[in-house]
Homo-oligomer: A and B are copies of this chain.
Amino acid sequence: MKLTRFTDFGLRALMYLGAHPGRPISAGEISDRFRVSRDHMMKSLQALDAMGLVSATRGRGGGFQLTRGAGLARLGFVARTLEPSLALAECFEEESTCPLTGGCLLAGALGEAQAAFFDTLDGYTLGDLVAADGPHLVQLGGLRVG
């Protein structure tokens, strides 16, 4: 059971940006801090931009910042939107070849469990996570060399 890397990186980018308010932060800085691919991090940042959670400024000194109100976004909403597919199992997919599709209680149980997953995440806003982790993240930022 796994979220995609796309969602994983997106969530971490939001946390990093939330802990470093007041200046645009480049995709390279974020990916360096998390030791992950800059290209993949950039794709997640672009999705966050499209969702209105971050805004980008171009040019020298440019980068990404959280938009006003991003801290109010619920974590379940963010994860649900970033995940490219919510097809938990083959039977959830449109081209499913499972002969039980339609009348299957298993799919219903899995769907209910998935809803519980995202509902639980909706109990947290980005602001909740950043507020608690801010000092830790800022400390990490302070350790950054260069």
Q: Which residues of A contact B (CB under 8 A)?
A: 1-5, 7-8, 11-12, 15, 33-36, 75-76, 83, 85-91, 97-100, 103-106, 109-110, 112-121, 123-124, 128-129, 132-133, 136-137, 140
Contact = CB atoms under 8 A, between A and B. Distances in A.
A36 B134 CA distance: 48
Interface centre among A85, A104, A128 (most CB of B within 10 A): A104
Given A75-B109, A89-B8, A97 B129 contact: no
22 contacts: A1-B1, A1-B4, A7-B89, A8-B90, A11-B106, A12-B98, A15-B100, A15-B106, A34-B99, A35-B97, A75-B106, A99-B140, A100-B137, A100-B140, A103-B133, A104-B136, A105-B129, A105-B133, A106-B129, A106-B133, A112-B123, A114-B117
A34 B133 contact: no
Given A3-B110, A105-B133, 19 more contacts: A1-B4, A1-B88, A2-B87, A2-B89, A3-B88, A3-B89, A12-B106, A33-B99, A34-B97, A35-B99, A76-B113, A100-B137, A100-B140, A103-B136, A105-B128, A109-B129, A112-B120, A112-B123, A116-B116
Contacts of A137: 100
